[in-house]
Amino acid sequence: MNIGRPAHSPLSQFPVIDDCLWIGGMALTQLAARVGQTPFYAYDRRLLSERVALLRAALPPAIEIHYAIKANPMLALVQHMTGLVDGFDVASAGEMKIALDGGMPPAAISFAGPGKRPAELAAAIAAGITIHLESYRELETVARLGQEQGRRPRVAVRINPNFELKAAGMKMGGGAKPFGVDTEQLPDLLDRIGALDLDFQGFHIFSGSQNLRADTIIEAQNHTFELALQLATATPAPVRLLNIGGGFGIPYFPGDRPLDLAPVAANLAHWLSLVEKRLPEARVVLELGRYLVGEAGIYVAEVLDRKVSRDQTFLITNGGLHHHLAASGNFGQVIRKNYPVVIGNRIIGTEREVASVVGPLCTPLDILADRMELAKADVGDLIVVFQSGAYGLTASPAAFLSHPPCLEVLV
Ligand SMILES: *Cc1c(COP(=O)(O)O)cnc(C)c1O
């Protein structure tokens, strides 16, 4: 039936027992009873730990792994990550609070983002975290606030590089961008940091997200290291932090295949030997969001109705784009593609059918699966959307249409 059509990458992270998905050591049906409601998100501790262990085993040991909290800021998950990774990247004072509440030491927290408010900058200076400067104005504000507090703010410079991460889902560097400071303006900005006597840490170069191709990640990393080594000759203090971004993707859609880490790791090992000689004080940091948490999470909704309209079967659920905008195809996708979806309590089922899974919202955008082959489902069955651990609940318009809120559990 699927001949010639690309399929989803096989998913094996969750066991299936008696045709029911298991997560966190229990059947999904039992977890749903424990949570006490649908819809909910469930994130699996074991998978979070295993993913970091896999990265540590593959990458050179000197590479530090940071978690970008915006991918999933649930406090219990962030607390779990505190024990696994070397630092957190935050993008607001709200995320900074979660990072600190989660127990990460301030020296291991960095704050990037293009529009930091003075109150956020003041809080970051008081906390002693590293501020990634994104503009001249921000630099001047940080220096003034530091003086007012009698503290020497720790700063790094976020660079908008003169290259792009090709084939990335979302480009965040290269060309004209609101993120970071253009390479051309850096010598001047570095002079100013020296004149203002800020505690200069180093550079942050993040060029994009959701990349599944090792060759393009390697190309971006090559440009990043070349640029950093070149700029390091003109810094106000030795480079102690080199955040090389991340961009590691996970397979979401039919045809996507997992990223091959081995060539990326080999390339990093090559650069690390150079960095150790030229920038002996530098910690090299990889910042990852979805790669660390995306595959460890599922979204679960319940079938409220099934109906057939002009030969097409619709499963209508109590969950939808108000909880999971990305699965509906409205979070950065150009052409809508299906996330991997199954009927969680009957994976294979007794009968198969092609059905569309939609949410309860009164908008044609509220689609969780468009004409997918699934086990034949009925009212009360549980729809599972895989690859949902990142950019799920907090990246969705929860208030749209005033439906009940969604719960999240860490299992
Ligand atoms: C969003 C973001 C990340 C995380 O991106 P992922 O695709 O989730 O890995 C990392 N760094 C910065 C600066 C970001 O803005």
Radius of gyration of the chain (CA): 23
- pLDDT value of position 167: 58
Residue 165 falls inside a structural domain: yes
Residue 67 falls inside a structural domain: no
Query: Average pLDDT, stretch 390-398?
Result: 98
User: Do 344 and 367 reside in the same domain of the chain?
Assistant: yes
Give the residue, out of 51, 77, 89, 110, with the most ligand 1 atoms within 8 A of its beta carbon, to mutate for a pocket test: 89
**251 touches 11 (CB < 8 A):** no
User: Do 224 and 337 reside in the same domain of the chain?
Assistant: no
Assign 208 to helix, strand or coil: strand
pLDDT at 365 over 90: yes
Tokens matching residue 367: 């689609």
pLDDT at 303 over 60: yes
Query: Average pLDDT, stretch 242-263?
Result: 97
Tokens matching residue 80: 């779990």
- Domain end: 269, 288, 307, which one? 288
- pLDDT value of position 5: 78
Nearest CA to ligand 1 atom 4: 289
Could you count the other beta carbons within 10 Å of the beta carbon of residue 261? 18
User: Do 281 and 406 reside in the same domain of the chain?
Assistant: no
Mark out the alpha helices in 157-287 (DSSP H runs). 186-195, 214-231, 261-278
Nearest CA to ligand 1 atom 14: 68
pLDDT at 1 over 70: no
Residue 6 falls inside a structural domain: no
Domain span at 161: 112-288
- Domain CATH code at residue 347: 2.40.37.10
- pLDDT value of position 270: 97
- Domain end: 288, 309, 338, which one? 288
Q: How far is the CA of 354 from the centre of ligand 1 (A)?
A: 35
Where b means 16+ CB within 10 Å and e means fewer, 136-155 reads: eebbebbbebbeeeeeebbb
Residue percentage of the chain with pLDDT more than 90: 92
Considering only residues 173 and 157, tell me which one the structure prediction assigns the higher pLDDT: 157
- pLDDT value of position 173: 65
User: Do 260 and 356 reside in the same domain of the chain?
Assistant: no
**230 touches 162 (CB < 8 A):** no
Q: How far is the CA of 290 from the centre of ligand 1 (A)?
A: 8
CA distance 46 to 241: 30
pLDDT at 3 over 60: no
User: Do 133 and 35 reside in the same domain of the chain?
Assistant: no
User: Do 181 and 226 reside in the same domain of the chain?
Assistant: yes
CA distance 70 to 68: 6
Ligand 1: residues with CB < 6 A are 68, 70-71, 89, 112, 206, 209-210, 246, 287-291, 390
Nearest CA to ligand 1 atom 9: 289
Q: Provide the β-strand partners of residue 131.
A: 111, 155
Residue 260 falls inside a structural domain: yes
Assign 308 to helix, strand or coil: strand
- pLDDT value of position 164: 65
Q: How confident is the model at residue 165 (pLDDT cuts 50, 70, 90)?
A: low
User: Do 235 and 370 reside in the same domain of the chain?
Assistant: no
- pLDDT value of position 166: 62
Q: How far is the CA of 46 from the centre of ligand 1 (A)?
A: 23
User: Do 273 and 153 reside in the same domain of the chain?
Assistant: yes
Q: Secondary structure of 360-397 in the HEC alphabet?
A: CCCCCCCEEEEEEEEECCCCCCEEEECCCCCCCHHHCC
pLDDT at 163 over 90: no
- Domain CATH code at residue 275: 3.20.20.10
Residue 2 falls inside a structural domain: no
Give the residue, out of 55, 85, 206, with the most ligand 1 atoms within 8 A of its beta carbon, to mutate for a pocket test: 206
Q: How confident is the model at residue 385 (pLDDT cuts 50, 70, 90)?
A: very high
pLDDT at 234 over 60: yes
pLDDT at 171 over 70: no
pLDDT at 376 over 60: yes
* C-alpha dist (Å) from residue 316 to 69, 181, 305, 350: 32, 47, 5, 20
- pLDDT value of position 168: 57
- pLDDT value of position 170: 62
- pLDDT value of position 169: 62
Query: Average pLDDT, stretch 162-185?
Result: 77
User: Do 326 and 380 reside in the same domain of the chain?
Assistant: yes
- pLDDT value of position 197: 87
Could you count the other beta carbons within 10 Å of the beta carbon of residue 117? 11
pLDDT at 213 over 60: yes
User: Do 248 and 230 reside in the same domain of the chain?
Assistant: yes
Ligand 1 atom nearest 249 alpha carbon: 7
Containing H/E element for 40? strand 40-43
User: Do 21 and 150 reside in the same domain of the chain?
Assistant: no
| Count of structural domains, the chain | 2
pTM here is: 0.96
pLDDT tens for residues 44-95? 999 999 999 999 999 999 999 999 999 999 999 999 999 999 999 999 999 9
User: Do 169 and 309 reside in the same domain of the chain?
Assistant: no
Tokens matching residue 133: 């400067």
| Pairing of the two strands 87-90 and 154-160 | unpaired
Average pLDDT, the chain: 95
Give the residue, out of 70, 85, 110, 134, with the most ligand 1 atoms within 8 A of its beta carbon, to mutate for a pocket test: 70
Ligand 1 atom nearest 390 alpha carbon: 8
